[in-house]
Amino acid sequence: MDQPGHRLTGSDSIRRMGLIERYMDRLPFEPGDPIVSLNEGSTPLIAAPRLSERVGAEVFLKFEGLNPTGSFKDRGMTCAVSAAVRDGADAVICASTGNTAASLAAYAARAGIRGIVLVPDGKIAAGKLAQALMQGAEVVALRGNFDEALRLVREITQVHPIALVNSVNDFRIAGQKCAAFEVMEDLDGRLDALCIPVGNAGNITAYWKGFQELHAEDPSVSLPAMHGFQARGANPLVRGELVAEPETIASAIRIGAPARWEEAMAAMTGSGGTVADCTDEEILDAYRFLAREEGVFCEPSSATSVAGLLKHGVGDAERVVCVLTGHGLKDPQTALDESPPVVPCEPDLKALEKILVG
């Protein structure tokens, strides 16, 4: 557009761009492809001064809760749904602990195609269920866990023409790797360690892929150590064996059979990182700490990256990024359960003064 006033320059235009448009030269898309986007990505990297003080390193939070549906899943979903539309699909499906379901629902709505999600009955946070339903997905509540849901969607997509958009789909990984590009752009290519929650192990796989790509092109860009953290009750990578009945308050990562197992382990060992776990109590402590001390409200599963950093450390890393994968509003019930009660007050000044100043 040549109209005056409609010209955007520099970072202004980047913020208005969706992920595929911003990184098209690094993604399996061509100009002219149909793009299904909600302007995802370009999330802020927020300095965390109190956390930095506690761990004795410079720590930043990659707040993925600020994506369009409130989680990092939107990065992979813009790619997976765009590719499905390019291939002529008229339906997409996923198994989900909640966030993938919410994201699929939004992108399927945007694309005008059928969206179907299988979620573990009673085990997904209220905000995620509300999103999936409100955005018109067909929500199937499975009497089983995520791992069983993933097995079923793999099976049904073998025999019916429905596109599978779980992170077993490589377009998901391609989209999610772009978060690594953003981090390195914001930090001028210097980062020692990345802390990240691990569930189905797609995201850690994607970040590692992104970091490796940048480093291969320009060896002066750091290859950070990848530290993956799981919940104690859903810690197959820590135990080295499947967990048949995973259980944790961090419902997003209540997964016992991660699909990207080998790639995630390769990321952690190949980068000189670690895999370790945190108890639900430690995760909730980090969740409250982030909200109250840093002013950043993420969902419990996301706080696992910080819980892991606080518990296990990251060696002598000087500069650390913790990925906060989803927004706190996803799970209002846990927030209410973990907070003090409201203070009731009659509508008069004396009553209010009594409460506030004693």
Binding site for ligand AN7 (CB under 6 A): 71, 73, 96-100, 167, 197-203, 252-253, 299, 301-302, 325-326
Least distance between ligand AN7 and beta carbon 161 (Å):
22
Least distance between ligand AN7 and beta carbon 61 (Å):
13
Least distance between ligand AN7 and beta carbon 214 (Å):
20
Q: Which is nearer to ligand AN7, 73 or 110 (CB)?
A: 73
Least distance between ligand AN7 and beta carbon 345 (Å):
35
Alpha carbon distances (Å) from 52 to 41, 99, 127, 230: 25, 28, 30, 22
Q: Which is nearer to ligand AN7, 302 or 334 (CB)?
A: 302
Alpha carbon distance 354, 334 (integer Å)? 30
The three-state secondary structure class of 93 is: strand
Inter-residue contact 160 to 90 (CB < 8 Å):
no
Q: Which is nearer to ligand AN7, 17 or 193 (CB)?
A: 193
Q: Which two tokens stand for residue 64?
A: 């993925």
Phi/psi zone of residue 306: left (φ > 0), alpha (ψ -120 to 50 degrees), beta?
A: alpha
Angle of helix 202-217 relative to helix 178-186, nearest 10 degrees? 60
Q: Which two tokens stand for residue 177?
A: 């790797």
Alpha carbon distance 100, 325 (integer Å)? 12
Q: Which is nearer to ligand AN7, 175 or 199 (CB)?
A: 199
Least distance between ligand AN7 and beta carbon 330 (Å):
7
Inter-residue contact 196 to 224 (CB < 8 Å):
no
179: CB partners within 8 A, 6+ apart: 41, 43, 62, 64, 72, 75, 206, 207, 210, 323
Least distance between ligand AN7 and beta carbon 72 (Å):
7
Least distance between ligand AN7 and beta carbon 249 (Å):
13
The H-or-E segment that residue 186 falls in is helix 178-186
Least distance between ligand AN7 and beta carbon 123 (Å):
11
Q: Which is nearer to ligand AN7, 22 or 73 (CB)?
A: 73
The three-state secondary structure class of 231 is: strand
Q: Which is nearer to ligand AN7, 58 or 182 (CB)?
A: 182
Alpha carbon distance 79, 179 (integer Å)? 13
Give the amino acid at 212.
Q
Alpha carbon distance 185, 183 (integer Å)? 5
Q: Which is nearer to ligand AN7, 82 or 100 (CB)?
A: 100
Instruction: Report the DSSP beta bridge partners of residue 62.
Output: 45, 323
HSE of 44, CA atoms in CB hemisphere, 13 A: 5
Q: Which is nearer to ligand AN7, 58 or 301 (CB)?
A: 301
Q: Which is nearer to ligand AN7, 37 or 97 (CB)?
A: 97
Least distance between ligand AN7 and beta carbon 34 (Å):
24
